Amino acid sequence: MTETLPADVTDAEALSALIGRWREDPGGTYRTWFLWEERLKNFRAIRRGLQAVVSEIAEGSFGCAYRGSSLETVVGSIAEQRQIFKGADHAFLWKPKLRIPDIYEDAEHQRAFGRFLDTCLCCTGEAAILEAIHALDRRRIKGLGPAAANLLYFLHPTHVPPFNTAIVNGYNAVTGARVKLGRWEEYLAMRRGMLALIARHRTQFSNDFGAVAGLLFDVGSGRYPAPPRAGDTAALARWSHDLAVVREESTASRKALALARDGDHTHTQIQAWLRDLGKALGYAVWIASNDRGRLFADAPLGEGCLTQLPPPLAAHAAADTFGLIDVLWLEAASGRVAAAFEVEHSTSIYSGIVRMLDLALGVPEHADGAYFLVAPDAREADVRAQFARPAFSRATDLNLHYLPYSELTAHRDAIGRFGTGVKGVLAIARALR
């Protein structure tokens, strides 16, 4: 049962108008993040990362430093999400003068944090999640506050909202509440209020907390003015005028949209090149299930490609993850994966590595294929830094390579015309082990 909103909540019709404007805004979080297809790709990767954190804490191998830990890897992946999670890693950085968050030097606190994550990884219902939060809160671990909810959001998006300063500020502005940062009980009170907002505007909000959190983030970060309190007619008129002009023609919005479109276009273009090259080399080609309908050269990206994974892959428990790999080349007769490609134009490199690890380690008969991280030349250092993380120690067993855009651009035609198998691609790629 959800709690009611504060008595001085904003005008319901005005708030509904704001939500409608936000959903249409090309530069708002609804279109740049919530509807961003890469957002969904990160959920399983982050779950895998948190499982690694839990395992290392249980085994006593997590260590006493944030830098280089499996936790840094997964939190860094969250922080690489679009603007709403920028700075998510700050709460977990070790601050030696304050000795917070106290999960690095205090072994018992670290184990409690591991049990908290393990419980939330395993449970499915709201009650169990809330009890895990209360149990962690009772330990009063210094510096470990509701910023940890950003980890839980990627495990239970319909039960746990994201948390940061802008979201809190937006919630207070919209509802008239006085939620404070840093305390779990304040966070849980905000969560109940967010549930009430979702219920009141159920035709405009998904039950995924990311939607309402995105709106509150945009209000709290100053993109939109909050609607006035109910009954203030003059303030409502002023606000309606402000809403009509706010950022409508802003340079920042246009630039953000252009960057998003350019990124998506380049990603799609690289997928199309790899699709055509694979076909030229005689392979059956799989395009990521959520990308097949994208248009390139006025035709769907998945046109002429496989519509189903080969039976051994389709029957696997992680088939949904395999299906999200950007491009697969499969031997036409056997269905064996000859090559897998993750295109990392501007998205998290971490999640691409995790998907390929799922395939190679989950279905060992495909482990001897060639695996490629395809990225702009300027991202080579990022690729190598991610690959060097302790969390990816198993990845050193893979035939994993970095394939720069420039090499693919320069040589793909020649490889398609004169190449055999994946040898030509391996020749222009750079080994990561």
pLDDT tens digits, 311-359? 889 988 888 888 999 999 999 889 999 999 999 876 678 778 888 888 8
Say if 252 falls within a structural domain: no
Q: Which of 153, 171, 198 is the last residue of a domain?
A: 153
Rounded CA separation 97/103 (Å): 15
Same domain as 375, residue 326: yes
Is 288 inside any structural domain? Answer: yes
Model pTM score = 0.71
Which residues, including other chains, have CB under 8 Å from residue 160's CB and lie 6 or more apart? Answer: 129, 149, 152, 153, 191, 209
In a domain, 383, yes or no: yes
Question: 280 with 329: CB under 8 angstroms?
Answer: no
> Which stretches of the chain score pLDDT less than 50?
1-3, 7, 246-254, 257, 261
User: Residue 23: its pLDDT value, please?
Assistant: 93
Residue 227 DSSP class = P
For residues 315 and 209, membership in a common domain is answered with no
Same domain, yes or no: 19 and 73: no
> Are 288 and 347 in contact, with CB atoms under 8 Å apart?
no
Domain that holds residue 336: 257-431
Residue-level pLDDT at 22: 93
pLDDT at 250: 42
Within this chain, do residues 149 and 168 fall inside the same structural domain, yes or no?
no
Helices assigned H by DSSP within 60-183: 70-79, 107-122, 126-138, 149-153, 165-175
> Helix (H, G, I), strand (E, B), or coil: what is residue 160?
coil
User: Does residue 145 share a domain with residue 95?
Assistant: yes
Residue 176's nearest CA partner among 29, 30, 1, 11 is: 11
- The single residue listed with the structure tokens 């009954």 is 231
Distance CA 109, CA 49 (A): 20
**Assigned domain for 92 exists:** yes
Task: Indicate the DSSP class of residue 379.
Answer: G
Give the residue from 62, 40, 41 showing the smallest Cα distance to 50. Answer: 62
Q: What is the DSSP string of 306-335?
A: -SS--HHHHTSTTHHHHTTSSEEEE-TTT-
Q: How many domains does the chain have?
A: 3
Do 379 and 426 lie in one domain? The reply is yes
Q: Do 226 and 281 fall into the same domain? A: no
Residues 95 and 190 in one domain: no
Rounded Cα distance, 420 and 272, in Å: 19
Q: Could you give the CA distance from residue 299 to residue 413 in angstroms, rounded to a whole number?
A: 20
- The answer to whether 353 touches 382, Cβ cutoff 8 Å, is no
Question: 176 and 63 in one domain?
Answer: no
Q: State residue 83's pLDDT score.
A: 76
Per the CB < 8 A criterion, the answer to whether 73 and 394 are in contact is no
Q: Is residue 2 part of a domain?
A: no
Q: ∠ CA(285), CA(339), CA(331), 5° rounding? A: 55
- For residue 191, what are the contacts with CB-CB under 8 A and spacing of at least 6? 160, 161
Q: What is the pLDDT of residue 177?
A: 86
Which of 153, 186, 213 is the last residue before a domain boundary? Answer: 153
Beta bridge partners, 400, equal 371
Are residues 382 and 416 both part of a single domain? yes
Domain boundary, last residue among 245, 279, 302: 245
In a domain, 43, yes or no: yes
Instruction: Identify whether residues 219 and 238 lie together within a single domain.
Output: yes
How many CB atoms are located within 10 Å of the residue 251 CB? 8
Which has the closest alpha carbon to 216: 207, 224, 208, 228?
Answer: 224
Residue 193 lies inside a defined structural domain of this protein: yes
pLDDT at 251: 43
d(CA 345, CA 81): 13
d(CA 38, CA 240): 34
The predicted structure's pLDDT at residue 238: 57
**Is 189 contained in some domain?**
yes
293 and 346 share one domain: yes
Is-contact 284 332, C-beta < 8 A? yes
Cβ neighbors of 333 (< 8 A, separation 6 or more) are none
* CB-side neighbour CA atoms (13 Å) of 229: 8
Whether the CB-CB separation of 205 and 183 falls below 8 Å is answered with: no
